């Protein structure tokens, strides 16, 4: 699809994408926006120009500080909005626009718009769905011959995380403090984490509510998923190894997770479906699915030391996930747990089979025994203060690209 707007080669934000986010529009404040190339579309202003009149949508629908109420309109509406934007900015429909008014009122350069937290996240669940990651962690911390726990191939393992500390890209995070128990000590110490880590993840956004007691079928779970974001689940590994028995992670995870500002819809990802890994043994009936439910999303993590160039330390792919999103959501609700619009379900660390595809410093440095060497000669076992962590993700097929942009955060010293 070609647009009359200028789109740079390898832009994530082609006409095939049309993501949704919240931009802080000068003089107007937070508004629901979309993006094509380097142009951010203020959808409230776009609606005032009459582009959505025949859809029965008023400008007030888009004058919102988060996407939740827009998402709650349902896919029957949000899909039409996305298609209308594609139609209006398509090269074949270049005529008929009042370009000076459109540019003055509704279009802004991406460089001048602050992107805000796109969602009000009421609940957040983090899955553990990469068999490569789970195996690596099992080898490091348990028995290499029995790296996976007995339940892992039978259920999409997950835990409930802290929603209040999920923040948007560009938010700076202070190094957290907590308890650390060195291997040679009898009692724990208190102080800043010495093993700050990233986790390369994605997350899906719940787009449709369910009632308490209601379950979602794996066969139609995608009807309840609005779209996806990139997700950096920051972790303090030394806190984690001390606290996780018996109830799992706590302070090691709840201090911050960072998401990308643009929500990419499942419609935009439709052409990038791929089969998932073969699941053995056969899953229980409520987890059985049909069709290709994984997506070919290229993922990478870069570290940028303060004042120095960024360096890619990991390249992975969403297609590696053992448990797909439909299975995750079906398992999440099989007991009657209710879902709310804007809830986030994260994938867990997405690792591939080779060392260069491991989605965390824990794996890349193999628990600190194999430091990662950066171009300036410095090494990283984990993340240093003043390091910026950058994650990017995109799909590409037949020269058509749909991407997520990036999620970026700088680590500051502990307070």
Degrees, nearest 5: CA angle 81-20-352: 125
Is-contact 150 171, C-beta < 8 A?
Answer: no
What's the longest Cα–Cα distance across the chain? 75
CA dihedral (410, 412, 414, 415) positive or negative: negative
Residue by residue, DSSP assigns 107-163 as: EEEGGG-EEE-------EEEE---HHHHHHHHHHHS-GGG-S-TTTTTS--EEE--S
How crowded is the C-beta side of 364, counted as CA atoms within 13 Å?
Answer: 32
In this structure, what DSSP letter does residue 286 have? Answer: G
331 belongs to the catalytic site: no
As a dihedral over the C-alpha atoms of residue 171, residue 177, residue 181, residue 184, rounded to 10 degrees, the angle is 90
**At 37, is the secondary structure helix, strand, or coil?**
coil
Chain centroid to Cα 291, Å, comes to 23
Residue from 133, 160, 174, 332 carrying the catalytic annotation: 133
Q: Contact, 346 vs 390, CB < 8 A?
A: no
- Give CA separation, 338 vs 189, 206, 286, in Å: 40, 11, 17
User: Which residues are known to be catalytic?
Assistant: 133
């Amino acid at each position: 699809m070609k647009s009359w707007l200028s789109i740079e080669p390898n832009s994530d934000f082609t006409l095939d994408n049309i993501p949704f986010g919240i931009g802080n529009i000068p003089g107007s404040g937070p508004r629901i926006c979309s993006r094509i190339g380097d142009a951010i579309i203020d959808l409230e202003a776009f609606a005032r120009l009459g582009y959505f009149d025949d859809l029965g949508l008023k400008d007030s629908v888009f004058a919102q500080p988060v996407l939740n109420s827009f998402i709650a309109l349902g896919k029957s509406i949000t899909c039409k909005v996305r298609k209308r934007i594609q139609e209006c900015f398509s090269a074949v429909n270049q005529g008929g626009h009042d370009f000076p008014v459109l540019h003055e009122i509704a279009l802004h350069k991406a460089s001048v718009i602050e992107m805000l937290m796109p969602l009000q996240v009421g609940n957040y669940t983090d899955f553990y769905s990469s068999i490569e990651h789970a195996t690596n962690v099992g080898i490091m911390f348990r028995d290499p011959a029995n790296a996976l726990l007995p339940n892992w191939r039978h259920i999409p393992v997950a835990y409930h995380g802290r929603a209040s500390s999920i923040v948007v890209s560009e938010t700076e995070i202070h190094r957290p403090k907590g308890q650390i128990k060195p291997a040679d000590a009898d009692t724990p110490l208190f102080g800043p984490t010495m093993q700050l880590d990233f986790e390369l993840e994605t997350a899906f956004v719940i787009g449709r509510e369910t009632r308490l007691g209601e379950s979602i079928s794996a066969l139609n779970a995608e009807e309840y998923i609005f779209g996806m974001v990139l997700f950096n689940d920051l972790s303090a590994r030394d806190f984690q190894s001390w606290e996780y028995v018996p109830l799992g992670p706590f302070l090691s995870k709840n201090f911050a997770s960072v998401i990308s500002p643009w929500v990419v819809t499942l419609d935009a990802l439709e052409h990038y479906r791929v089969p998932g890994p073969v699941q053995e043994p056969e899953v229980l009936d409520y987890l059985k699915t049909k069709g290709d439910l994984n997506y070919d999303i290229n993922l990478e993590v870069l570290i940028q030391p303060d004042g120095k160039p960024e360096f890619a330390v990991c390249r992975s792919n969403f297609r590696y996930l053992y448990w797909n999103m439909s299975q995750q959501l079906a398992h999440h609700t099989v007991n009657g747990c209710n879902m709310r619009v804007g809830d986030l379900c994260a994938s867990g660390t997405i690792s591939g089979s080779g060392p260069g595809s491991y989605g965390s410093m824990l794996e890349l440095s193999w628990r600190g025994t194999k430091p990662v060497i950066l171009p300036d000669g410095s090494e990283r076992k984990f993340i240093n203060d003043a390091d910026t962590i950058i994650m990017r993700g995109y799909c590409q097929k037949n020269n058509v690209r749909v991407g997520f942009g990036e999620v970026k955060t700088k680590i500051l010293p502990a307070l």
